[in-house]
A and B are shown apart, each in its own frame.
Chain A
Amino acid sequence: MREGVLHRLFPLFGYPLVALFLLLAWWNPDLLPADEPLDLLVVMDESESVGQQFSYQSWQGLRPLLADLPANSRFSLIRFADRPQTEITWKPISDNELQQQLQQPAPPRTLSLDSNTSAIGTALEWATNQLVPSHRSAILLFSDGRENSGTPPPALPDAEGNIALFWSSPPVRYAANHPVIESINLPEKVKPAMTFPVSIAITSPTAGESLLIVKLDGHQLTEKPLRFTAQSSTVHHLQLSATTTGPHLLELTILDPNGDLLDSRERYFEVVREHQLLYISHQPPSLPVQQLQQSGWGITRLSPLQLNSQPDSFKDTSLVLIDDIPADELAPETVTALTGAVEQQGVGLIVLGGPKAFGSGGYRHSALERLLPVEAESARPEAAAAFLFLVDKSGSMDSATLPQSRLATAFRAVAESAGSLRAGDHIGLIAFDREVQPLLPLQAYADPLSTLSRRWEVSPSGGTRLTPALTTAIGQLAAATPKKRFLILVTDGFVEGESIEPLIGKMQAAGIMLIALAVGEDADLSVLQQLATATGGQVLQVAKTAELPRFMRRELEQQRQSWQPAAVKTQSVAPMPFSIPQETAWLPVNGYQVTRTKPDSTAYLATPNGDPLLAVRQTAAGRVAALPGGWLRAVNNIHFTQSLLAWLDRQGDNPHLRLDYRSMAGELQIKIDALDSKGRWSDARVAELILETPAGIRQQHHLTPSAPGRFEATIKTPLSGLYQAWVRVGNERTHRLLQQSRNSESIETPVIPWLQAGVDQGSIRNGSKTAFTTLLKSTGRRSPSRKIWLLLALFLFFSIVLHERRAGIFAALPQKNGGDQNEST
């Protein structure tokens, strides 16, 4: 009875069940979890801004992540900084070697990268090219999203595509937990044996102690214990020097108390070849020439006369030293060439004082003085003086054999001597022959130079009667307000027989000093000598008429007492702009020229009463130093002298050819600017660049102009370190060290915009493990559940049929006994 019920119920429930299976097959729901293999490509940023901690953590987090991947998934690893480097190429996640690598604390690193550069765009483009198009793939980017290589944004996968891009960034910006070298200030070029400053900024997030080791060319120079407080930044100063010309390597290393490396940096500088000092003097050099030569100076000594005859002497000179030379001994052409060399070529200039220079050398208002940092007169107010010029205009003063008459030269001398006059001085001018001709009343003039430089309507004629002229002059001087009274007499000495004794008393009574300039070798000096001796003055015989202005001016300056012969103390009034040995002693000088510092110049050494002893001025391209006391001779301090000369010296660069460069990721951007010999942009069609790599291999490049005088190139430089560049454009050449450094990544670089935009648009997903697991579950291939339902339906349907036909089948089977029959009945 019970079997009969089942027999009836089976088709009753079987058919709906088959129908249900068919409906499920039609619907085709997913039954099984994702099981499609995944190609996982990890792109790991190893630039400095990310830090190794994040790299290690990311790598160590990969192992559990890979354990969750479906079977037959594959794994690949790309490290990048300045460039991408594939470290693991598509290994099955079950691969034994891969599993061993995943157990290591750090990812495999077969090639070093420039960790100070980050090229995320390049790395992602590289990564997407590694993917197999038909495979389900995911890229997992471990990066802080900051790059400094300027690479264009790569094409990103679609949010709904077959490739998922995840970005995992450090939770906070990486910061080292130990002291690091933040920056180094170091000159690019130095002179042999020159002491130059180096400053190093070291930051430390934590308090503690460490050791700074400084090596130069592999040899340890010094080690400096460092003590930090938390979040501190300290700047350390060093004084270095090197003698061998060429590049030098400075290595800075910070060690912890256990001697373990915390940070290190390398910087290069160049000691440039010896420089040429042009020494202008009458005497052998008073500086320690031998020591200077030993420290790399090439010294050429010329007299002013030789210099005047060699106008191109400044061409190969980097520094000119003028040692106690009067201004008028330098020809105007020489001074013009010197000015051009200083202002345009950057040639340095030192002027040493002495009894014949500055005020005594007629520097006041001269072309040479315009270059100097000092003016050849005192800064303190001086008592006014009266100067009366008495010029002989007799017929003998007119010499037809000269290009300019003695009289004209005399007036020129008078005009030039105005440069020695001070504000408030009284000046007057009288011409005389047999008659007295007052030309300029004795009084103070606002502009003595233009007053005395006017053209005088006087022509030489007649004889010479000195007494009336002297009488008139003495009368004017005696009435003048200033107590210092000078009578400057210019004559050729052909004085007619006159009695001058009465005048001597008057001159002495009025305090008048006579300065007589006797022009010509045949001048009769007896009368003049008598007058001069009586008044404390002197007679100067000017053999050559052309020298008259110089004689007159120098004599006036001497009367001004600009040379102070007494020993005087030296005081430092401002810190030197260059490094000097700390033990430098400021020794006194034995006499100096009284000068005053120009407003645009700086005095570093001075006398107790403020007269400058070392003043410096930047004049256009060059630096000029004035030492009115010749202080370098006094101190005999070779270190100070070397430092001063090196500081003033032209920097060794070719002013017509300049090479600039920018260190980028794996490349150097070179920019060359070239002038021709006329100072115009060079019209050369090619710049020849020879680049020596850190491996010592020389590459030759030919650059074409991108603009007038401008040549540009971007050169692949995969190796970090020192590159040397030699450039030739036309006839101009220059040389420069280029450092493909590890300093190109800026700490303040923001997240690259295209990466942030990708996150906002959804094409880049959050790189957390949860998000990754969600992807694995959501994007798996659909399970083939339809076939299951269909098979179930088919099986059940067949079972129904079988069940339906069961009795007939059993009946058809051969009967073994009658039990069945009995049963059926």
Chain B
Amino acid sequence: MISLGAPLWLLLLSGLPLLRWLHRFQRQGRIRPTAALFLWRRIQTEGAAGNTATKPDPRWRLRAVIATLLVLALSDPYRETISGIPIEVWLDDSLSQFTREGGETRLQRGIDRLIQRVEKERPSSLILHSLGNPTVTRIINPQTDSDWISELEQWGSNPRGEPHPPAPALMHQGSRHVLLTDGADIQLNHWLKSAPLSEIIQTGSSTSNLSLTRLAIRPSPDTPFAAQGLVELWNSGESEMNARLILIQRGREIESWSVKLPPGESRLLDFVTDLGYPADLIARLHAADDSLPLDNELRLPLSSALKPIAVKVTGECGLYLSAFLQSHPGLEPSERNPGITIDCDNIQTSAETPLLRLHGSGGQQTTHSPGHWHVKDGVQHLSIHRGLTFSLEEGEATSSGVTLLSADGHSLIRESRTPAQTIDVYLDLQQPAFAHSPEYPLLLSALIERLLQRPLAESLVSASRNPDASRITPLSLPETSNRPANDLSKQQLSITSLPIFTALVLLLIDMLWGFRPQRRNDR
């Protein structure tokens, strides 16, 4: 369909009668010098020297067409089309979209409906956005890609997280925006109120879901090689559900419960397990009417999570440090794949792993004031009292890096990058008075944690799932007042060039017409 962007320009067409009127006047005759006017007297009876006529010059029609075409071009003629506009699809690929209904997931059903839509409209491109992971985007051209349907069908194979919709201003205005969702996410439904969406494809109807939301174990403080555990399940559906919960380790069922849970309620269950030979622990839920099987299992990778960090030790580290390394449950002296290097002889200038470098030798001095921590977190609670000996190595003390601990104006602990993260300890870690204090193991742990940029294994291993992600009940989607009208979703293809080109051709004809030889009867 052809429309005009600025139809008011058509008012100029009212000048066409003027054009016609002008063409009632014939071409002006040639000026011929003559000896006497009376010789032309009879001509006056035919009119004003042949300049008036009852019928206009036939050229006026050609010129009227030219003028009309120019006025038409001024009126911005365009053709409305929808086939050229890209469609941007915002896919809610959160957990609830994988609820199975009628043998298919909600997401699969939504994609099927999208495919029908695309087959009908054949947009120039289809841009898929994951709402769960905004960095995941794919562009498909249904007009040229032969396997675009299979690409679409393979899109949502795994949940990518809870929806993280973009700011409406960041959504392209030249595209049609389509949302695929089940409407189970409250935050997403809030976004609908402001997002410039053309269409929402909503799928989903079931409401029964029982989910595992937490599995955690923690070594028992009073029993060696034993751990206390906790498992939590939640009924996010709208009806009471019965289920059997089992714990599996090394392929064997080690604990089981039969659970009856009212809607909207959660339950915590305790258990005890053996950590003598840690193996992965799996909690699995079996419920008859459960529509979302993906949230029925949680796994704790105990074999890797409880594995201590390998510490490569170079040099003679002395009794106390060795005892610390041997007794710390999160550390293991080992040369293989070390996570950290401890250099007790100050011989390592650099290491591929984070390096804790102990400066045992050098001039020994005693601190006369308590140590002062220059860092704001992690170790500040450790009281380093006066009277401790430290190595005074000026070369190191003035090296690059920042002081973490100082006393009497001397750096006792410094941190730098050389290029691996390195901490130089000038404090004498061999002095019994310090080694027997409770601060000694805490200081070493804190320094190692600082080097590793993460806490040392506190042996608490847990896996959890956002309970809101397991909410599958579709909500009624709000009416979006900002949704564009249909015409805004169509592309306006300008056809101004067409009348211009036509006018140009006609102008050429008119010009050639004007320069053709004049008829002699003009005389």
User: A-side interface residues toward B, CB under 8 Å?
Assistant: 4, 11, 15, 18-19, 22-23, 25-26, 125, 128-129, 131-134, 137, 152, 154-158, 161-163, 182-183, 185, 187-188, 197, 199, 201, 233-235, 237, 574-578, 599-602, 617-618, 621, 662, 675, 678-681, 683, 685, 704-710, 743-744, 746, 748, 786-787, 790-791, 793-794, 797-798, 801-802, 804-809, 811-812, 821-822, 824-825
Contact = CB atoms under 8 A, between A and B. Distances in A.
B420 to A, nearest CB: 15
B254 to A, nearest CB: 16
Question: Nearest 10 pairs between A and B by C-beta?
Answer: A808-B25, A807-B28, A131-B169, A128-B167, A811-B51, A707-B216, A575-B387, A708-B228, A808-B51, A15-B511
A386 B221 CA distance: 49
A221 B464 CA distance: 51
Contact of A4 (B31, B217, B220, B515): B31
25 contacts: A19-B504, A25-B500, A152-B164, A155-B166, A155-B170, A182-B374, A185-B373, A187-B383, A199-B370, A235-B407, A602-B433, A602-B436, A618-B438, A786-B73, A787-B74, A790-B74, A794-B12, A794-B67, A794-B74, A797-B63, A801-B19, A801-B23, A805-B22, A811-B48, A811-B52
Contacts of A804: 27, 514
A199 B380 CA distance: 12
A199 B372 contact: yes
B28 A22 contact: no
Nearest to B48: A811
B464 A706 contact: yes
Nearest to A161: B172
Residue with the greatest number of chain A CB neighbours at <10 A, chosen from B218, B230, B372: B372
B287 to A, nearest CB: 22
A402 B167 CA distance: 91
Given A235-B406, A235-B409, A791-B74, A577 B49 contact: no
A577 B25 contact: no
A201 B134 CA distance: 44
Interface of B: 12, 15, 19, 22-23, 25-29, 31, 34, 36-37, 40, 48-49, 51-52, 63, 66-67, 70-71, 73-74, 134, 164, 166-173, 194, 196, 214, 216-218, 220-222, 228-230, 268, 270, 366, 368-370, 372-377, 380-381, 383, 385-387, 402-403, 406-407, 409, 432-433, 436-438, 460, 462, 464, 496-497, 500-501, 503-504, 507-508, 510-511, 514-515
A805 B52 contact: no
A18 B500 CA distance: 11
A772 to B, nearest CB: 19
Contacts of A805: 22-23, 25, 28
A577 B268 contact: no
B436 A617 contact: yes
B49 A129 contact: no
A161 B175 CA distance: 12
Where chain A touches its partner, the secondary structure class is: mixed
Contacts of A794: 12, 67, 70-71, 74
Given A575-B368, A791-B74, A793-B70, A675 B436 contact: no
Contacts of A821: 37
A137 B169 contact: yes
Of the candidates A125, A662, A743, A807, the one having the most CB atoms from chain B within 10 angstroms of its own CB is: A807
Contacts of B194: 129
A600 B167 contact: no
B67 A679 contact: no
B25 A812 contact: yes
A15 B370 CA distance: 97
A790 B9 CA distance: 11
A235 B496 CA distance: 78
B507 A679 contact: no
A708 B218 contact: yes
Nearest to A823: B31
Given A161-B172, A707-B462, A812-B51, A26 B500 contact: yes
B372 A11 contact: no
Contacts of B436: 600-602, 617-618
A651 to B, nearest CB: 11
A811 B47 CA distance: 10
A685 B402 CA distance: 45
Contacts of B63: 797, 801
A82 B446 CA distance: 27
B171 A679 contact: no
A824 B381 CA distance: 115
A574 B387 contact: yes
Contacts of B67: 794, 797-798
B73 A201 contact: no
Contacts of B515: 11
